[in-house]
Chain A
Amino acid sequence: MSKQQSEVPYGTLDLLILRVLEAMGPLHGYAVARRIEQVSGDALQLSQGSVHPALIRLEQEGWIRTDWGVSETNRKVKFYSLTKAGKKQLAVEVANWEKATALVARFLEALR
Chain B
Amino acid sequence: MTVRRALERFAALARRRRLDRELENEILAHLELAERDAMARGLSPEEARRAARLSFGGIEQIKEAHRDRRSFRWIEALLSDLRYGIASMLRTPGFTAVVAGVLALGTGANVAMFSVADAVLLKPIPFERADRIVRVWEAPRPGVENATSTPDFLDWRRLGGTVFDALSAEQPIAAALTGKDGATRLAGKAVTADYFRVFVAKTQLGRTFRPEDDSPGAAPVIVLSHAAWQSEFGGDPSILHRHPILDGVAHEVLGVLAPGAFDRGETKFWKPLVFTPDQQVRDIHWLTVFGRLQGGLSVAQAGERMQAIYDALAETRPADTRNWKIAIVPLARLLVGAGLERSIAVALGAVALVLLIACANTVNLLLAKAASRGRELAVRAALGASRGRLVAQLLTESMVLCLLGGAAGIAVARLLIGAARPMLATSLPFTAEVNLDLRVLSFAGAIALGTALAAGVFPALRASLGDVAGTLNRAGRGLSGAHAGLRRAIVTGEVAVSLVLVCGALLLLRSLLKIEELETGVRVENVMTMSVDLPEGAYPTPERAAIFYDAVARRLSTAPGVSHAGLSTQLPLRWISNGEGILIPGIRQQIMVRFKRVDPGYFGTLGIAVLAGRGITPRDRDGAGRVMVINQALAARLADVGHMKDPLGKVVRVSTPGYREKRVFLPEVEIVGLIRSERVASPGQPEPPVVYVPLAQAPSPELKLLVRTGAGAASVMPAIREAIRDVDPALPLGDVATMEQVRDATLAGSRRPAGLIGAFAGVAVLLAVIGLYGVLSHTVTLERREIGIRMALGARASDVLLSVLRNGLSMVAVGLVPGLAGAFALTRVMKNLLFEVSPLDPSVLAAACASMVVIGLVAGFVPALRAARLDPVETLREEG
Contacts and interface: CB of A to CB of B under 8 A. Distances in A.
Interface of A: 28-31, 33-34, 47-50, 52-54, 56-57, 60-62, 71-73, 75-78
Contact of A30 (B4, B22, B29, B66): B29
B2 A50 contact: no
A62 B30 CA distance: 23
Interface of B: 2, 4-5, 8-9, 12, 22-23, 25-30, 32-34, 36-37, 55-59, 61-62, 65-66, 68-70
A20 B268 CA distance: 84
B30 A49 contact: yes
Given A33-B30, A34-B37, A56-B70, A62 B59 contact: no
B57 A75 contact: no
A62 B4 contact: yes
B28 A75 contact: yes
Contacts of A33: 30
Contacts of B30: 28-30, 33, 48-49, 52
Contacts of A76: 25
B62 A61 contact: no
A49 B57 contact: yes
Contact of B33 (A50, A53, A73, A78): A73
Contacts of A73: 29, 32-33, 36
A48 B26 contact: no
Nearest to B19: A56
A77 B8 CA distance: 21
A60 B5 contact: yes
Contact of A61 (B4, B32, B34, B55): B4
Contacts of B69: 53-54, 56-57, 60
A21 to B, nearest CB: 16
Main DSSP-derived SS at the B contact region:
helix
A105 B34 CA distance: 37
A26 to B, nearest CB: 15
Contact of B62 (A53, A62, A71, A72): A53
A75 to B, nearest CB: 5
Contacts of B29: 28-30, 71, 73, 75, 77
B37 to A, nearest CB: 7
Contacts of B66: 52-53, 56
B28 A48 contact: no
Contacts of A28: 26, 29-30, 33
B7 to A, nearest CB: 9
Of A47, A53, A61, A75, the most chain B CB neighbours within 10 A belong to A53
Contacts of A56: 66, 69-70
Contact of B32 (A31, A48, A53, A71): A71
A19 B32 CA distance: 25
A62 B2 CA distance: 10
Nearest to A71: B29
A71 B4 contact: no
A34 B70 CA distance: 23
A72 B68 contact: no
Given A30-B33, A72-B33, 16 more contacts: A28-B30, A47-B62, A48-B55, A48-B56, A49-B59, A49-B61, A50-B65, A52-B30, A53-B66, A53-B69, A56-B66, A60-B5, A60-B70, A71-B29, A73-B33, A75-B29
19 contacts: A28-B29, A29-B30, A30-B34, A34-B33, A48-B55, A48-B57, A49-B27, A49-B56, A49-B59, A49-B62, A52-B26, A53-B65, A53-B69, A54-B69, A56-B69, A56-B70, A60-B5, A78-B22, A78-B26
Contacts of B12: 60
A29 B4 CA distance: 23
Contacts of A50: 57, 62, 65
Contacts of B36: 72-73
Q: Which 5 A-B pairs have the closest CB atoms?
A: A47-B57, A49-B62, A60-B8, A53-B65, A30-B33
Nearest to A73: B32
Contacts of B59: 49
A62 B68 CA distance: 18
Contacts of A48: 30, 34, 55-57
Given A30-B30, A77-B26, A77-B29, A53 B58 contact: no
A50 to B, nearest CB: 6
